[in-house]
Amino acid sequence: MKVLLEFTLPEEDDYFRTAQDAMAYRRALRKLDEYLRSKIKYGDEYQEAMIILQDIRTKLHELAPEGFAE
């Protein structure tokens, strides 16, 4: 299957840039998720903050598109 995205520039420049940068944002969110997971699992220096870190990670999963962490 092929998908063609078409934008009318300059009117839809924001939409174009969002589509263009989507994979970079996805990678950044996945790296953030992995970082939070690592700190929750192995980060002794964050013992008092574990609940907050898990809450942030849960919220990230709620806000991100389905399947982003796969």
Q: What is the pLDDT of residues 10-61, one digit of tens each?
A: 999 999 999 998 988 888 888 888 888 888 887 766 667 778 888 888 888 8
Phi-psi sector, 69: left (phi>0), alpha (psi -120 to 50), beta = alpha
Which residues lie closer than 8 Å to 56 by C-beta, 6 or more apart? 36
Name the pLDDT band for 62 (thresholds 50, 70, 90): confident
Q: Which stretch, 2-6, 26-30, 54-58, 66-70, has highest mean pLDDT?
A: 2-6
pLDDT at 42: 79
| DSSP secondary structure letter of residue 64 | S
Burial of 33 (0-12, 13-18, 19+ CB in 10 A): middle
